[in-house]
Structure 1
Amino acid sequence: MASLSVEYVDHNYPGFLAAAFEVAADELMADGIPSQPFLEREEEFDIITVPYVPVDPVSQKVIAGPSQQGVICQRGSDELYIQRWGQDRFQEYYGQYGIQTIWNWTEGLRPCPVYLRHCYLAAEKLGCLDSFLDETYLVDRTTK
């Protein structure tokens, strides 16, 4: 099973629609970096700060004003995981179960059905279902 993350595209990609929400101040460190509990919960991701612009949920047009900064879960790597958490933790959480990689799958990996349903329903409710369906790919980076 797998979850959803963003992946950097190195060409002039216009972006995608996503939900942005505020997190209570005690969830963040003073400098805006996610707290240790957040990093632990999202341990396999590369947590990055990205610019975003607010969009009207009905018209899907950009709301005038400056871009803002948000935190997003980007595709990580096995190397980043081991650098951050150590080989022993990788072995304990994954290796002992025969899982040799978190991120280097090329086929045979499918989203967790319950999580995918939550993502689908949220995108539908927020009015960005077309964006979700058009810009979300499975691990092969071809299948939508």
Structure 2
Amino acid sequence: MSISLSLSHHPAVASLAWHQRNSFSVSHSYPLSSTPFTSLLKSCLRRPSPVSMSSGGVRSVSPAKNLDIRELNDESDFETLLSPDGYLSICGFGSLLSERSARSTFPDLVNFRVARLNEFRRVFAHVAPVFFERGIAKPETKEISSLSVEPCVGESLIVTVFEITKSEIPAFMRRELEFRFLAVLPETLDGASLDYPAVLCARYSDEEFFNVRCRGSKEIYFQQYGRWNIDRIWRDDVLPCRVYLRHCVLAAKNLGDAAYNNFMDHTFLADRKTTIREYLATTGSGIMEEEPPDSLKQRYGG
């Protein structure tokens, strides 16, 4: 298995040696079948179970049948998911719940809509350098995390799905470099499968990121994360970035009650126990009343 990414224009990569190469291809030292993440993923697929009705707006769903979830390692893998007219479906679960945010990243997206993704959960366990770059990370309180998703038996998420063009794939891969790219098959809220798989940015691992995406180079890692004193990306001792969490909650609320309640009750802190509803009612109280900095009000306004 190999990963091939065109990264010559990634803003965080500064070394001359890096810029002299348009792409890299590295043998994947961690086969998909051997990682803890994919072991859990296989467990989810072996043990599909209905999701019961809850206050989170999650209805009962049928077990996944013939669900072909696979890892996407290079641009050619992404191209296998293209529709006949050349569009690629993207699955949004955090800031991309906001159509305004999605269009700020993908100005030419089409067919923005709500969908359901079964057997995954949202977790605030991913340290995001963009929060440091924008001055909204709070390392002193560990309020520095963004969202990722990971397999979880019996969970069900309300997400968004939209389409981008083939030409946007390389930029998307560069921008989401620290994630594991998966092809998943969301369904409508009525339970019908969508026509084409969508790309999901799922939890990766620090070991894989360093050895595969950074090619084992401390210099490359430093340009990506180390310059912000981030020595681990995927952690269980961090809290949500306050501005980002507020933005995601507002974005979910704008999608309607079902999406809002699903986000509140099926999104977890890094402990995998505390829901966002519980967090905002206790330790995180006051977050929803805090306004983003003026320069970020539109970007993080829900």
Q: Does 1:72 align with 2:200?
A: yes
Who is 1:124 aligned against? 253
2:164 match: secondary structure: coil
TM-score, length of structure 2 as denominator length: 0.39
CA contact (8 A) 2:186 2:194 kept: no
Say if 2:181 is the partner of 1:47.
yes
Q: Is the Cα–Cα contact under 8 Å of residues 155 and 266 in structure 2 kept in the other structure?
A: no
Distance 1:101 1:66, change over 3 A: closer
Change (3 A) 1:99 1:24: same
Unaligned stretches of 5+ in structure 1? 28-34, 56-61
Percent of matched pairs sharing the same residue = 37
1:81 aligns with 2:215: no
Residue correspondences, number = 127
- In 2, distance between residues paired with 1:126 and 1:119? 11
Bigger shift: residues 64-73 or 110-119: 64-73
| Equivalent residues of 1:19, 1:126 under 8 A apart | no
Give the C-alpha shift of residue 50 in structure 1: 0.5
The secondary structure found in structure 1 opposite 2:223 is: helix
In terms of Rg, which structure is larger? Answer: 2
Q: 1:67 to 1:53 in 2, by over 3 A?
A: farther
How big is the shift at 1:141?
1.3
Contact 2:180 2:202 (C-alpha < 8 Å) held by counterparts? yes
SS of the equivalent of 1:142 reads coil
Q: CA RMSD in A?
A: 2.0
The CA deviation string for residues 16-70 of structure 1, in whole angstroms up to 9 with x for no partner, is 111112223421xxxxxxx222111111111111011122xxxxxx164656411
Q: Counterpart of 2:232 in structure 1: which amino acid?
A: T
1:22 aligns with 2:22: no
Preserved CA contact (<8 Å) 1:53 1:66: yes
Post-superposition shift, 1:132?
A: 0.5
CA gap 1:14/1:78 in 2 versus in 1, 3 angstroms:
closer
